[in-house]
Amino acid sequence: MEGSKKMMKRPIKEVYGSDASDGFNKGKAETVEPSKANSIASQIELLEEIIKAKGKFDFTAELEKLKEELMEADGMLADVKVKVPDWCKLEEKWLLDE
């Protein structure tokens, strides 16, 4: 509980930044990094490096399993249709600046 009380006392500017674009960019950075670390593609790269190091475990089977999961996930992702809002019409051009 101690940590949550301290968080409540922090000024909004410190948490979210001085304007909306700072808050958006900070939130985006905080959510992108963990997902990169846990992605299946990252796991495949790691396993390929371990296999090259000639480990004594059966990483080849694990690599094949992860590749199958990745192909299945890519197939499901291809079925998803996301409408991209026109940020210019919504007068939110700052969202396009990266």
Can you give the residue ranges of every domain in the chain?
1-38, 40-98
pLDDT (average), residues 20-34? 70
SS3 state at 8 = helix
pTM: 0.35
Mean of pLDDT values over 7-35: 65
Provide the pLDDT confidence category of residue 68 given band limits of 50, 70 and 90: very high
The Cα angle at residue 78 between residues 66 and 68, in degrees rounded to 5: 15
- Higher-pLDDT residue of 2, 67: 67
Query: Can you give the pLDDT at residue 51?
Result: 78
